[in-house]
Structure 1
Amino acid sequence: MAATAIKPITGMLRRTLILDLGIGLGLGLVFGNAFWYGYHVPRTVARDNYYKKLEDERAARSSS
């Protein structure tokens, strides 16, 4: 029986693994930021503006 069950990762396989991880993490960050700043933040601002408008209308009705 061998001392290790699998051979260590070396050479081309190691470079490919590092490249795949780098590309995966890089694309994850890019698409994560695209979602966050392209969809989430504008929707949150629109929601906050909507509720602020409702609150302002309610305050104007109650003060009249």
Structure 2
Amino acid sequence: MAATQIKPITGMLRRGLILDLGIALGIGFTMGSGFWYGYHVPRTQARDNFYKKLEEERAAKQGR
């Protein structure tokens, strides 16, 4: 019975890992930026504008 030779898999794991990490970080950064600038910042501005308007109305009622 002859033993068959199997080629060592040396660089495939490293290349695959780098590619997977690059894709994951790219998608993560894109989705995070989309959430931050597409949802969080506009909602924060809307909240701040609401409380600013509320404070102006309260100050106007007090005669300031």
Shorter-normalised TM range: 0.7 to 0.9
Per the alignment, residue 3 of structure 2 pairs with: none
Runs of 4+ residues over 2 Å off in structure 1: none
SS at match of 2:62: helix
State how far apart, in whole Å, the 2-side matches of 1:40 and 1:11 are. 42
SS at match of 1:20: helix
C-alpha RMSD over aligned residues: 1.5
In structure 2, the gaps of 5 or more residues are 1-8
Per the alignment, residue 31 of structure 1 pairs with: 31
TM normalised by structure 2 equals: 0.83
- Say yes or no: does 1:13 pair with 2:13: yes
Q: C-alpha displacement at 1:10, in angstroms?
A: 3.3
State how far apart, in whole Å, the 1-side matches of 2:14 and 2:52 are. 54
Per the alignment, residue 47 of structure 1 pairs with: 47
In structure 1, the gaps of 5 or more residues are 1-8
TM normalised by structure 1 equals: 0.83
Per the alignment, residue 5 of structure 1 pairs with: none
